[in-house]
Structure 1
Amino acid sequence: MKIDKYLLKSECSFIIFEFISEGPKGNIHKVIHFQKTNQPRVFNLAFGDKNLDTGDIDDLAISNNNDGEKVLATVVSAVYAFFEKHPDSFVYATGSTKSRTRLYRMGITKYYGEMVADFYLYGRTDDGFQEFELNKDYIGFLAQRKFN
């Protein structure tokens, strides 16, 4: 995606990334954490505002810092970096609310052409995973990096 992104910081395993959202609400610390799941090679993408006191991720915070596109592009760049270090993995993402899951779907749809060039994309329904289709509602998303 050719969208402006924030500078990412990560530890050497590329599991946890941090950046700072800048906008009218000030500087808001964000965290992206690729969490192991009970499925081998599947990581959950956890994302949200960083609680500066505890270090925890608040995935229900509403920042409204007028930089949604830049934040989304930054999260996607973290996904690319994660796959460089963990090429045989899968990343699962779902929103903490239905509206956030819808925002993820809208982001995937908007950049679908670029994403399918680099990723195998799947949508999760109550019946399981299927190849991602445009204009279809999902409860989660699964991605695997294509390496040619």
Structure 2
Amino acid sequence: MKVPRYPVDQLSEYTFQFFSTGPRGVFALRTIFTKENTGSGDELYNLAFGLWNSDLQDIDDRIELRNGDADQVLATVARVTLDFLHQHSGAFIFAQGSTPSRTRKYQMGIYKYFDELPKHIKILGLRTDFNSHNTSNWIEFKVGVNYQAFLLYSNVRYI
């Protein structure tokens, strides 16, 4: 991606921190990957990111900073995610916004830079068919289709 990214500190195997800098101030943001128990042996991680709340020792993924750097923040999270997939060969990353509008914002970011993703990165989108008993299916990500969540993975295995 040609969008500038923030420098990132890896705090643990699953936690990354960077700082949003803009007209409203400097804010610590964290990206956290949480391994989910699938029962199938697959490495599935939930991707969460948001404003770091040092009092709660957790992220708040509902706050909108409006710090004028949304593209740079999303580009930074995207780079962290791609690096994580490289470090965890065979992993699947589940991503969904904390609200439908935030999921839509992430989807627009994926659309915007979809052609710049490495070819070995694959994205599936979760679609619910409300005409067919509300069934949900993972399908290959396509521009112009709305999704409820995303699943990212690499079809390249690193040694």
Q: Does 1:31 align with 2:24?
A: no
Q: Which residue of 1 aligns with 2:133?
A: none
Give % identity. 37
- Structure 1's 12 and 84: CA in aligned 2 closer, same or farther, altered over 3 A? farther
Q: Which residue of 2 aligns with 1:6?
A: 6
Identify which of 53, 61, 64 aligns with 1:62. Answer: 64
Q: Which residue of 1 aligns with 2:139?
A: 130
What is the CA-CA distance between 1:116 and the residue it aligns to?
A: 5.7
Q: Which residue of 2 aligns with 1:90?
A: 92
Q: TM-score, normalised by structure 1?
A: 0.93
Gaps of 5+ in 2: 129-135
What is the CA-CA distance between 1:12 and the residue it aligns to?
A: 4.8
What is the CA-CA distance between 1:87 and the residue it aligns to?
A: 1.3
SS at match of 2:119: helix
Gaps of 5+ in 1: none
Identify which of 72, 75, 80 aligns with 1:78. Answer: 80
RMSD: 1.4
Q: TM-score, normalised by structure 2?
A: 0.87
Runs of 4+ in 1 over 3 A off after TM superposition: none
Larger Rg: 2
SS at match of 1:111: helix
CA distance in 2, matches of 1:137, 1:37: 25
CA distance in 1, matches of 2:96, 2:50: 12
SS at match of 1:79: helix
What is the CA-CA distance between 1:84 and the residue it aligns to?
A: 2.0
Aligned residues: 147
CA contact (8 A) 1:108 1:115 kept: no
